[in-house]
Structure 1
Amino acid sequence: MHELKYLIGYSENVTSQVRLLISKDKLGETLLKKYPVTHTIRTDKALYAYTVDMKNALLKQSQPLSKVIYDDKIKDLHHALGLHTFISRVQGDKHKAKNEIRVASLFKNVPLEFLRMIVVHELAHLKEKDHNKAFYKLCEHMEPSYHQFELDMRLYLTHMDLFGRLY
């Protein structure tokens, strides 16, 4: 049986349904039916604009973003899908702080819902550093379907591991 490394922590009910879809070769078909179209946010400039617009609409009282980019090295180096970094520097008597978000390059060619879930997740780190109850509550506030998109994105990653890309 296939290891479902992206679904660790999910219930036996969920994982058994996924195993059934895999055994019937229906996982990709199910995802394509639910998410037939990929987004058009392909450049770092477009990703920055998308992320800043979302931040300004949902987190008005948060720190500014200095950089938002797609990063080819994230999945391999950090075993993550996105990263939020906070850089603080003191130069003389001035303090400079920068917030950066990096999104794994594999999200250049996926449905908008998956990209939105990753961006919401990284934006939530502007307010909540840890993955605690308040963090996930903020994610749900910004995107009410956050948990469904996260599960479906994990199903997509499972499909990629087993069969390759869908989109």
Structure 2
Amino acid sequence: MSSLKYLSSYPTQLQEQIAQLLNQNRLTEYLLAKYPLINYVPNDNALREYVIDIKNQYLKKSQPLSKVVFDKNIHVVDNALGLHSYVSRIQGSKLKSKNEIRISTLFKNTPIAFLNMIVVHELAHLKQKEHNKAFYQLCRHMLPDYHQIEFDVRVYLTHLEEVGQVYGNR
């Protein structure tokens, strides 16, 4: 059985099902049946608009975002799919705050649901810094099937590592 490190926190039964799909060379079929199309967010400008639309729908009163970009330096091996950073700086006599969201370029060529899950996760950090119950409640408020999509993203990452690319580059 191959390494299922992205799924290690899930029940053994789920891990065994994914391992079986891998061993039968059916994991690609599983992902393509569930998520046949890749997203339509090809660059940083489109990503910013996409993120701001979601933010304005669910988190209107949260602090503004100063930067939203795809980042080729975010590597899944570091257990990061996206990053939210909050920086405070003193400029003259004023305290300036900046919120930035960076999404791994890995998600340029994936289904919109995968990108949406990563964006929702990073936006939730605007209100909840820790991964606690309130954080995941906020994620589910913005994306009701958050946990299922997170699982499927982990299945996708497993596929990338074990088999290779599912969705072609644009």
TM-score by length of 2: 0.96
Q: Which residue number corresponds to residue 21 of structure 2?
A: 21
Distance change in 2, residues 1:115/1:131 (3 Å): same
In the alignment of these two chains, the number of paired residues is 167
Read off the aligned partner of 1:21 and give its amino acid letter.
L
Task: Answer yes or no: is 1:30 the counterpart of 2:30.
Answer: yes
CA drift of 1:91 comes to 1.6
Distance change in 2, residues 1:126/1:6 (3 Å): same
Q: Which residue number corresponds to residue 163 of structure 1?
A: 163
Q: Which residue number corresponds to residue 94 of structure 1?
A: 94
Q: Which runs of 4+ in 1 moved over 6 A?
A: none
Q: Which residue number corresponds to residue 55 of structure 2?
A: 55
CA drift of 1:60 comes to 1.3
Please give the alpha-carbon distance, in whole angstroms, between the structure 2 residues aligned to 1:79 and 1:132.
Answer: 17
| Consecutive unaligned residues in structure 2, runs of 5 or more | none
Q: Which residue number corresponds to residue 114 of structure 1?
A: 114
Distance change in 2, residues 1:154/1:37 (3 Å): same
1:80-108 CA-to-partner distances (Å, cap 9, x unmatched) read 10000001001221111010000000100
Please give the alpha-carbon distance, in whole angstroms, between the structure 2 residues aligned to 1:13 and 1:73.
Answer: 34
Distance change in 2, residues 1:131/1:68 (3 Å): same
Please give the alpha-carbon distance, in whole angstroms, between the structure 2 residues aligned to 1:64 and 1:85.
Answer: 12
Q: Which residue number corresponds to residue 123 of structure 1?
A: 123
Please give the alpha-carbon distance, in whole angstroms, between the structure 2 residues aligned to 1:77 and 1:166.
Answer: 18
CA drift of 1:78 comes to 4.0
RMSD: 1.0
TM-score by length of 1: 0.97
Please give the alpha-carbon distance, in whole angstroms, between the structure 1 residues aligned to 2:75 and 2:125.
Answer: 18
Distance change in 2, residues 1:119/1:91 (3 Å): same
Q: Which residue number corresponds to residue 103 of structure 2?
A: 103
Range moving further from structure 2, 74-83 or 86-95: 74-83
Please give the alpha-carbon distance, in whole angstroms, between the structure 1 residues aligned to 2:77 and 2:44.
Answer: 20
Read off the aligned partner of 1:87 and give its amino acid letter.
V
Q: Which residue number corresponds to residue 10 of structure 1?
A: 10
